[in-house]
Chain A
């Protein structure tokens, strides 16, 4: 397989200014990560510790095998929403007793670990990843249930937590609840519906109604331990399978449960040499465009992500605005589709369609590296059937059955977002570089379109068009779209699985691929491969 050459000039102004801009964006992201890690703030963290409890990330660290990786998902979810950055819950893929698991931990220092609508969305996305990739689920439970003032947007969809947990179990995907504290009311059903439950002595409280509620409902006098303590549930009700003397013991038992699953991944696993890329991934910071009007060669990215920088390009002379080809990451074979000049023309769409069909023939997962301004518009292209060709590509992406992984490394505008496997197309994982912009179209274009439409409306109505008001409105819209297409905004809304440092792209995709191989890897068959 040919090894990609690199032609970047690390001394160039473009490289240097990209690098500076990316480092600034990463620093901005790091600030948000720090906020997420700080939980409910010093006072609540101190109170939590004073109770002899571990923080959620400490619980996760102990749960993980030493020196293994943890890929945290959507760590700054809820950014810009007014809720706690991180959405009061930690989710991620980690290795426990040699098994890749989907770990979900409540953040008890933020409003008692209660769930708001973003918490729910993040939790459900974690379940979705566990289901698609067949990852055992470990819940680190300490939550007061619903964040009651938000119940209107929460109560109805939160039923999906119960439904997902039981359906995961039905699919043979193990579910484990390690209960460190409150798991009350609706929360009581989490250990109740998991395959395995471990309760911590004197800490776990698993009941539908606490003493005050019971008193109000039936007049019965009771205490926490009688209603939902670890000892009671381990000895009497059977809600708990294991009685843990403390948090450490609980985590030990959780690890033992995973070890005893005798878990086997169903995917074929890695089959290629997994040597490091020839070119330095650090240089990705200077390659990624900070100014999205300037395209960059995605081969420079592939050369810093693929094993040994090896890449077998498919149809290199045809539809050159989209690069397609075969490579491997951490030994897992992949097909890669990467935007080169941003625009998807007719040929690019047909090339992508064929490539996706081929990948399905060979059960090869696909990686989409997005930097697209969308499908081409204009007379020539419409007349050449741009709609038909775009539809072919979107059809292929939508119905492809091999795992998809998407990295938004620049622009993601218009239907290009769909054709290149945006969030709505169900990629197993979708990550964003901090310089990314995602919107129906660019801010200037969008504001301009609105302006033109308004002007036409005024003309049709025969009214006077207010140029001054239009200019102000254009600027306002531009600013709004600019703000709403930022990576932090998108990740805050859980439209991705997190912003990643471009230098980590290979590692992140390696973990994602390994996770995806938990499930069988089978492409869509039926028709042969159409030459479009």
Chain B
């Protein structure tokens, strides 16, 4: 293996390059037009453009990827995760082109690609499975009992998944899942499966080599999920003791052996509160959460993948050592329902003794075309408590400016007593509404004061006249200065050594600079970091982070949005426009459907009325807040 092309983007491309470089293997990146400035491009020795922006035009285009491999003389392709990583046709095409596909055989991929076939195979091999059945068009829906999980038979990542608890809702859920599956994977087949309440998601890392050896590298627990997507993963599972670990490992090895598995894979199980586990699926690729296994085994799983691909034998599995935990940092608006966010990242600092795998850096843009995961932050320690503490601390101290993130949510989970007690299951975030916890008012007020003082310092530093006159000086102090941010306004007066803030009292200002202030508020001296980018001010201190949007002092009179305007709730593309100007609509009627990331979002009429304007067409990319249509009551 001389030169390795990574048919992927973002953090996983960078992750693979890192190991390849260390092993003396040349590296090749591919990039879509949306990724032309992405850091993974610069990390590789060579890079090839894949024209277009959508995944189908670029990272999913087998022909284009193979052409890139040929033009760069690559002799191996690592598919990463997602995209072509579990595409048997791609694995076959690589083989046909004489290129090593770093992954299992096309047959293994195929066998596990159909969840139905996979379960049959596993049942035959003696791996415990849940009852389930495929939906066949034109036939009655199969009965697997309730609750039932409806999901796409092909593909993964939670796309199209729905839980149905009563028979009346089943038909609609199946139809909807079929649509989404067809759109996302080109195959609308849907599978029904018994649903385990309050389950834990436990998975086992497996590895097979070309010499017939199959090993497991212990379990990972990935129960903390939002919308069926894992956000916190750890190894080992707090609910697995040595005995059950051995049982899980044995079942996983059995599964792998049934497949004649070569390379890295993951056998996913669902585990109930009593510790009984059932086979869920095999992911025939490197998982997003592989770093936690690396940190508790000391192995480099990408290196193992490449060695296996070169035909080398696997080492003996090392003993489990300590605890590791990973948090997935997403660009998203948590409070609005985990709506993916896009935009330019102005600052990206994650300090502390943690591993950060990321495809972004300060100056990068998060586009709407791909997954909005910004980074994986991974901490380890001798104990779970230590690892969790380190991760929470690093996330707390992180400064990520430019896009909203789920950082606060992650910290709240990590610091939640139930989580710390190890009482995790996939319903954790449904039980504990941590998504809607606001920054406390007193913290927000302090942050607004810091933002105002830093802004004043910035203005003083760039003042064209009177730069040495004290800020806001008055010989007739009649009216306070006002700093107005979205949702919070502070009114303050300058005193000799600080400011007097209405509702807060005296604030002693030790220093105020554009990038931060040193102040004593209510008896506590604090250093509060501030960064302003345009109208947004990012404030970070020991008590949390706020993003404050400045309210313009002088709104332009024509800037106000016309009444009845429907605004895009998030950035995305328009997939359906269901009305025309002049049409009468009822309250709640869907007018426009947006697709962003994996979700369809309906924009509905706020009232009965008539459509006076439609500003978008199918296929348009829209920004958050853009006017889609106007309804006149």
Q: Does A330 contact B (CB under 8 A)?
A: yes
A510 to B468: give the CA distance in the assembly, Å: 8
Contacts of A317-354 to chain B: CB distance below 8 A: 330-331
A340 CB, min distance to chain B CBs, angstroms = 28
Chain B CB within 8 A of A511 CB: yes
Please pick, from B466, B470, B475, B553, the residue contacting A75 in the complex, using a CB distance under 8 A. Answer: B475
Give CA–CA (A265, B468) in the complex, Å.
Answer: 17
Q: B244-252, B310-318, B326-334, B455-463: which lies at the A interface?
A: B455-463
Chain B contacts of A62 at CB under 8 A? Answer: 553
- Please tell me if B481 contacts chain A, counting CB pairs below 8 Å: yes
- Is the Cβ of B553 less than 8 Å from the Cβ of A57? no
Task: Tell me whether A501 and B466 are in contact (CB under 8 A).
Answer: no
For B460, B469, B555, the residue with the greatest tally of chain A CB atoms inside 10 Å of its CB is B469
In the complex, how many angstroms separate the beta carbon of B556 from the nearest chain A beta carbon? 8
A510 touching B475 in the complex, CB below 8 Å, given contacts A66-B456, A66-B481: no
Among residues of A, the one whose C-beta sits closest to the C-beta of B471 is A67
Kindly list chain A residues whose C-beta atoms are within 8 Å of the C-beta of B474. 69-70, 72
Is the CB–CB distance between B459 and A248 below 8 Å? Answer: no
A98 within 8 A of B: yes
Is residue A100 contacting chain B, with contact meaning CB distance below 8 A?
A: yes
Contact of B475 among A58, A100, A251, A508 (CB under 8 A): A508
In the bound complex, how far is the Cα of B465 from the Cα of A246, in angstroms? 29
**In the bound complex, how far is the Cα of B481 from the Cα of A95, in angstroms?**
14
B417 within 8 A of A: no
The 8 Å CB contact of B472, one of A67, A75, A331, is: A67
A376 within 8 Å of B (CB atoms): no
Known A37-B478, A57-B478; contact A251-B554, beta-carbon cutoff 8 A = yes
Closest A residue to B557 using CB positions:
A245
B464 within 8 A of A: yes
Closest Cβ neighbor of A244 among chain B residues: B557
Contact of B465 (CB < 8 Å), options: A66, A98, A501 = A98
- Contact code string B474-487 (vs A, CB < 8 Å = 1, else 0): 11101101110000
Inter-chain contacts of B473 with A (CB < 8 A)? 69-70, 504, 507
Contact B557 A68 (CB under 8 A): no
Considering only residues 125-158 of chain B, those with a C-beta below 8 Å from chain A are none
A278 at the interface (CB under 8 A from B): no
A500 on the B face (CB < 8 A): yes
With A72-B475, A500-B475 in contact, is A249–B557 under 8 Å at CB?
Answer: yes
Given A67-B459, A249-B554, A255-B554, decide whether A510 and B466 contact each other with a Cβ distance below 8 A: yes
Distance to closest chain A CB from B470 (angstroms): 6
- Are A33 and B476 in contact (CB-based, < 8 A)? yes
Residue A114, interface by CB 8 Å: no
The smallest beta-carbon distance between B93 and chain A, in angstroms, is 62
Chain B residue numbers with a CB within 8 Å of A330 are 466, 468-469
Residues of B within 8 A of A246 (CB): 557
Cα distance A255–B482 in the bound complex, in angstroms? 17
* Chain A residues positioned under 8 Å from B476 (CB to CB): 33, 36-37, 70, 72, 75
Provide the bound-state CA to CA distance between A255 and B554, in Å: 10
Chain A contacts with B in 218-248, Cβ cutoff 8 A: 245-246, 248
A98, B472: Cβ atoms closer than 8 Å:
no
Contact A71 B475 (CB under 8 A): yes
Q: What's the least CB distance linking A281 to chain B, in Å?
A: 9
Chain B residue at smallest Cβ distance from A276: B468
Interface membership of A128, Cβ < 8 A: no
Contact A57 B460 (CB under 8 A): no
Q: Are B468 and A100 in contact (CB under 8 A)?
A: no
Among A98, A246, A265, chain B packs the most CB atoms within 10 A around the CB of: A98
Q: Is A99 an interface residue (CB 8 A)?
A: yes
Given A37-B478, A57-B479, A500-B475, also A68-B554 (CB < 8 A): no
Q: How far is the CA of A70 from the CA of B476 in the complex (A)?
A: 8
In this complex, which of B466, B467, B474 has the most chain A Cβ atoms within 10 angstroms of its Cβ? B466
A96 → B minimal CB distance (Å): 10
Asked if B479 contacts A61 (CB within 8 A), the reply is: yes
Tell me if A65 and B459 are in contact (CB < 8 A).
yes
Question: What distance in Å separates the Cβ of A88 from its nearest Cβ neighbour in chain B?
Answer: 15
Nearest CB in chain B: distance from A244 CB, A: 8
Q: Which residues of B have CB within 8 Å of A100?
A: 465-466
Known: A37-B478, A100-B466. A67 touches B456 (CB 8 A): yes
In the assembled complex, the CB of A294 is this many whole angstroms from the nearest CB of chain B, namely 27
Residue of A whose beta carbon sits closest to that of B466: A514
- Chain A proximity of B450: nearest CB distance (Å): 14
Distance in Å: Cβ of B492 to nearest Cβ of chain A: 10
CB distance from A501 to the nearest CB of B (A): 7
Considering only CB atoms, which chain B residue lies closest to A98 in the complex? B464
A69 to B463, CA, bound (A): 11
Q: Answer whether A69 and B469 are a contact pair too, CB < 8 Å, given A62-B553, A255-B554.
A: yes
B467 / chain A contacts, CB cutoff of 8 Å: 274
Contact flags (1/0) for A245-263 with B, using CB distance below 8 Å? Answer: 1101101100100000000
Contacts of A422 in B (CB 8 A): none
Give the residue name and chain of the B residue nearest to A500 (CB): B475
CA distance A65 to B460 in the complex (A): 10
Question: Knowing that A69-B472, A330-B468, A514-B469 are A-B contacts, what are 17 other residue pairs whose CB atoms are under 8 Å apart, sorted by A's residue number?
Answer: A36-B476, A37-B478, A66-B456, A66-B481, A66-B483, A67-B472, A69-B470, A69-B473, A69-B474, A70-B475, A72-B474, A248-B554, A251-B554, A265-B465, A274-B468, A282-B496, A330-B469
Q: Which 8 A-B pairs have the closest CB atoms?
A: A252-B554, A69-B473, A67-B456, A98-B464, A330-B468, A37-B478, A72-B476, A69-B469
B interface residues, Cβ below 8 angstroms from A: 455-456, 459-460, 463-476, 478-479, 481-483, 496, 553-557
